[in-house]
Amino acid sequence: MLIVTALLAGLVFGFGLIVSGMANPAKVLGFLDLAGAWDPSLMFVMVGAIAVASCAFLVARRRTVSLLGADIAIPSRRDIDRRLVLGSVAFGVGWGLAGYCPGPALVSLGTGEIKAIVFVIAMLAGMAIHALIERRGAA
21: left (phi over 0), alpha (psi -120 to 50) or beta: left
Task: List, in sequence order, every residue forming a beta bridge with 71; answer none if it has no partner.
Answer: 65
> Number of H helices and number of E strands within the chain?
6, 0
Report in angstroms the alpha-carbon separations of 83 from 64, 91, 96. 28, 12, 20
Q: What pLDDT score was predicted for residue 108? A: 92
Please report the beta strands in 63-104, taking only residues with DSSP state E, as ranges in sequence order. none
Encode pLDDT of 22-58 as tens digits.
899 999 999 988 898 899 998 998 999 999 999 999 9
Please write the tens of the pLDDT for every residue from 82-128: 989 998 998 899 888 899 989 999 999 988 889 999 999 999 999 99
pTM: 0.76
Cα separation, 110 vs 120, in Å, equals: 12
Amino acid type, 95 = W
- Spatial contact of 25 and 99, defined as CB atoms under 8 Å apart: yes
pLDDT tens digits along 59-89: 998 999 988 888 988 888 899 999 899 989 9
